[in-house]
Amino acid sequence: MGALVECVAVTKAYDPTRPTVLALAGVDLSVQAGEMVAVMGPSGCGKSTLLHLLGGLDIPTTGRVVMGGQRIDTLSEARRAVLRRREVGYVFQFFNLIANLSVADNVELPMLLAGCRPDEASRRRGELLERLGVDRFADRPPGDLSGGQQQRVALARALANRPALLLADEPTGNLDSAATTEVLGLLSDYHVAGQTIVLVTHDPRVGAAGDRLVTMEDGLVRADEHRNILARGA
Amino acid sequence: MRRALWRAVRGDVAHRKGSSLLLLLVVAVAAAGITAGLGQQRDAAERWDAAFAEANGAHVAVFGSPDALRAVAAEPAVAESSGPGRITLVSLGQQDGRRTDDVDARAAGPVRPAVGRPKLFGGRWLSGRDGEVVVERSLALDLGVEPGDRVTLDGQPFTVAGVALDLLDCFYPECDSATVWVPDQAMAALDPAGQGSLLLVRLHDPSAVGAFERDIQARYGTGVSHVLDWQDTRGDALVVNQFFAAFLASFGVFLLLAAGLVVLSSVSGRVLARYRELGMLKAVGFTPRSLTLLVLGENLTVALAGAVLGAVAGGFLAPLLQLRVAEVLERGGATFPAGVLLTAVAVVLVIVAAATLLPAWRAGRVPASRAIARGAGPVSTRPSRLARLAVRLHLGPPVAVGLKDATARRLRAGLAVATLAVTVVAVVVTLRFDRTVDALAANPALVGDPYDVAVDPGTVPPAEVEAALAAQPVASWFTATSRRGAVGDATFQVRALGGDMAAAGFAVQQGRMPANDGEAVAGYGLLHRLGLSVGDRLPLEVSGGRLDPRIVGWYSESEDSGEIVQLPLGALRRVEPGAGAGGYFARLRPGADPAAVKAALDRVWGGRAAVEVSGGLPDAFGAFRLAFYVITGLVLVVGLLNLVASTLLGIRERMRDIGILKTVGFTPRQLAGSVATGAGATALAAVLVGVPVGLLAGRVMVDGVGTGSGLGPGWGSSPAGLAVVAAGVALVALGAGLGALASWRAARARVVEVLRAE
């Protein structure tokens, strides 16, 4: 199976006046379709930066990022945006739902952006929210929901366009234990159904949920362990 | 605490350079407008009164025979007089033969007259030598004549010794003929017969001019041919200024309203933007009162700087808006009267303080813990009907999101619409005003001058005048001669019309022109002053007799502020059998050139009669228009700046949302489009509200001005529909464009940083 997304010799410097201070110091990582990759490491090791580069939210200083055989680090911002709409879903630690849109609007927005008809978007939104157990909040503002409920809505939004790649940045970092278990269960369900997921976490419990664990330190990949592969029959 | 407060104020003002600068600009624009406006209001009337006092101005100018005038000078009511001196109509030519104008040559000696003493504006007074003249200032300004220039009077050469101000009549070219002072000996050559004389008198009781005029006209008969009184002259000189002041005052209100709304929305926005920070300040020990003071203090600090800057700018702007009256009365240049500057600064600061009070009070009541934890309260999440509609219409998510965001904060959205709507009202009123001035220019009948060519017959007999007019492309003509009439103590002009009165073309707004000697038509100003209406009788004294015509209509007239009654010559001849027809006023056939007709008539009469072409609109309307464009421009700038500011504020508050939108796939262009949609929608709402209000306000203003100036209500023109639509479309496009520009930074913001910033 070919790589769904791949980083090759990627470095990232945020401050152009200090090009030697690197958030990523030369990372190679290849994610196969259907994998669930957990990225762990201490704060500031470059986990989130790597996630942003994988989804085309940012571009590397050097090196290249290839998605589905296409280099995405050389695309314009607009082209990357169009690519993200179809191919990538993001889930964040702080949910990042748009406060002045209702739950329903938050989930429908990416679908409408991708050219989906309003009635179709509305139908799919209904299905997604129902499956994630938050359909009764459709017309409420996100601020009314608990953390776990907001993260389910964020997950619904990330999955709205059936993306090839789901990227999750500390998806349980802001949740209590029960909500963490719930969200992790949902992610595993989608993974089992074939969804490719890359998630960044501090939490060993979450890290253990992946079938591959990448450990980072000082902007470099220190370890890359494949687990449960045989168990999943891949 | 005071030091902490000051530090916080300084820090915030410096930190928020953009919004501080905007507040500064808006306040400066408002202060500049007020300074320029106030300067203008104060100007003309005060300057005229000051000039009149300085000149020891004549309360009444009496024209007539020297003997009669000498007797008038001895009347007990007269406190002081100059003259009688000789006066005659001559033709003034410039050295290069460019122009000739009819002027009043007035005899003068080497000592300036004590009553109506001409104020020198250049050169010197007559020295007593022959061959010198002094030219009246408004004429000199119009012709570009300066001391030392050579001119001719009836072909004889003279040198201009000086330029001096005369307040006998309103200024050339609105009123003619203008005066040229000529040495006594030269006067004898210009006017050998010496029939006309002028006496300038000051009365013990300046308010009794009406009774005095009536009295001398009754007792001296034809010995007194004509009188001018200072009240009428002052009114004529200031009539345009009154128009101007009334319009300017209304526009000042627009400007202040717009500025107040801008300050309210910008300060409210600043409080919201700093919500969390205000909570923190409370956490470190600021009391609610000190937080309120903090917000008031920082806004008033910025506003004070803006107000001072604006007031100074207004001082420079004022001379550009100066009307002709003020120009004639005083040398131009930037003026900085302390009273006006202080008033402007104070008014602006009061408005800023008033508009800041509510948000400042809200700042003091910020709940600290919630503010720190959650920042500003949630915005409206109710699904916007507009946004839903946009989705249904397949206009795409950027449009839907833009509409939703534009209305997310209802109060701010409302203020942005209201501010811009004030702008739209100002624009619509200006368009109406513009059309009204065009209509006045195209139709001089609206100001009471329904003719193309006027003839003062002089020594030419009526039959000869009428024969000469018949040989020209004249459509119709009427004659007019004026007397002073009175009802009780109120005196006014009585104009007796002859010739083809029905076709004269006066702008009769209600009723009709008189059809027989028992009927009269009145200017609106007279009806207004006497409290009469069409259908009433007007029992008046004129030429020593009594008439009791029925008023069958009213018409628009700007002369004497419309305090004129017009009746048939036959009616006047009932009380004054020998009354002459007076001047002839001819309307030409379409396409005929008034200048060519004047030239032809001048050739026929060889200067025995004075022929004039209708002057059209006073020049003052030019300055008038400029002033309107300037003020409307200022209001427009304020409104649009506010739109940009509230858009920027919205973007800043939603930076995180913008990051998320980018994450889910908005392109920079879609983001710009979304913000542009919101700004465009705001502008559209403002247009929809502002246009009807503007049409109504324009009507009320124009009618108000009409009532005050004697033109009466209902004379204004509606703005051209196309112009209003074009202005509306332009404003919406401009709003959307500015919104797109404002979104530039947001569209290019790096998602990673925006999302990390929280």
Beta strands in B185-249 (DSSP E): 197-203, 224-229
Report, as an integer, the average pLDDT of B164-175.
74
Instruction: For A48, name the nearest residue in chain B, comparing CA atoms only.
Output: B752
* Higher-scoring residue by pLDDT: B654, A158: A158
* Contact check, Cβ <8 Å, B383/A52: no
Chain B residues within 8 A of A43 when measuring between CB atoms: none
Chain A residues within 8 A of B384 when measuring between CB atoms: none
Report whether pLDDT(A161) > 70.
yes
Instruction: For B659, name the nearest residue in chain A, comparing CA atoms only.
Output: A96
- CA proximity to B324, closest of B622, B680, B715: B622
Instruction: For A83, name the nearest residue in chain B, comparing CA atoms only.
Output: B665
pLDDT at A135: 92
> pLDDT by residue (tens digit) across B314-372?
877 776 666 666 666 665 555 667 777 888 888 888 888 888 888 888 877 776 656 66
Helix residue spans in B322-337 (DSSP H): 324-329
Q: What is the SS3 assignment for B483-538?
A: EEEEECCEEEEEEEEEECCCCCCCCEEEECCCCCCCEEEEEHHHHHHHCCCCCCEC
pLDDT at B464: 87
B238 CA to chain A: closest CA distance, Å?
Answer: 58
Burial of B638 (C-beta count, 10 Å sphere; 0-12/13-18/19+): buried
* Higher-scoring residue by pLDDT: B663, B19: B663
Lowest mean pLDDT, pick from B328-337, B339-348, B570-579, B625-634: B328-337
* Contact check, Cβ <8 Å, A81/B667: yes
Instruction: For B390, name the nearest residue in chain A, comparing CA atoms only.
Output: A118
Partner-chain residue, chosen from B391, B660, B665, that has the shortest CB–CB distance to A98:
B660
* Contact check, Cβ <8 Å, A113/B397: yes
pLDDT at A165: 95
A49 CA to chain B: closest CA distance, Å?
Answer: 8
B227-to-B71, B215, B249, B529, B542 alpha-carbon distances in Å: 15, 12, 34, 21, 14
Chain B residues within 8 A of A78 when measuring between CB atoms: 667-669
* Contact check, Cβ <8 Å, A98/B661: yes
Report whether pLDDT(B704) > 80.
no
| Amino acid code (one letter) for B661 | L
Which residues does A contribute to its contact with B (CB < 8 Å)?
Answer: 48-49, 52, 57-58, 77-78, 81-82, 84-86, 90, 92, 94, 96-102, 105, 109-110, 112-114, 118, 139-143, 157
Report, as an integer, the average pLDDT of B452-457.
84
Lowest mean pLDDT, pick from B114-118, B184-188, B198-202, B370-374: B370-374
Dmax of chain B from CA atoms?
Answer: 100
pLDDT at B331: 57
Report, as an integer, the average pLDDT of B449-463.
82
Instruction: For A105, name the nearest residue in chain B, comparing CA atoms only.
Output: B383
A178 CA to chain B: closest CA distance, Å?
Answer: 23
pLDDT at A231: 47
Q: pLDDT-derived band of residue B539, with 50, 70 and 90 as boundaries?
A: very high
* CB B609 within 8 Å of CB B582: no
Share of chain B above pLDDT 90, in %: 8
Chain A residues within 8 A of B397 when measuring between CB atoms: 109, 112-113
Residue B74 near chain A (CB below 8 Å): no
Question: What are the respective helix, strand and coil percentages of chain A, to the nearest 5?
Answer: 40, 25, 35
- CA proximity to B31, closest of B450, B487, B336, B331: B336
Report, as an integer, the average pLDDT of B375-403.
68
pTM above 0.80, yes or no: no
Compute the distance between CA of residue B297 and CA of residue B11 in angstroms, rounded to an integer: 12
User: Which of the 8 DSSP states describes residue B383?
Assistant: P
Chain A residues within 8 A of B391 when measuring between CB atoms: 112, 118
Partner-chain residue, chosen from B380, B664, B755, that has the shortest CB–CB distance to A100:
B380
Our separate counts of H helices and E strands in chain B read 25, 21
Q: What ipTM describes this predicted complex?
A: 0.71
- CA proximity to B333, closest of B323, B320, B324: B320
pLDDT, mean over chain A: 87
Per-residue tokens: B212: 């005095």
Chain A residues within 8 A of B669 when measuring between CB atoms: 78
Residue B459 near chain A (CB below 8 Å): no
Chain A residues within 8 A of B661 when measuring between CB atoms: 98, 109
Partner-chain residue, chosen from A52, A85, A97, that has the shortest CB–CB distance to B665:
A85
User: Which of the 8 DSSP states describes residue A210?
Assistant: S
Residue B370 near chain A (CB below 8 Å): no
Q: pLDDT-derived band of residue B582, with 50, 70 and 90 as boundaries?
A: confident
A201 CA to chain B: closest CA distance, Å?
Answer: 16
Report CA B342 to chain centroid distance, whole Å. Answer: 23
Q: pLDDT-derived band of residue B52, with 50, 70 and 90 as boundaries?
A: confident
Residue B386 near chain A (CB below 8 Å): no
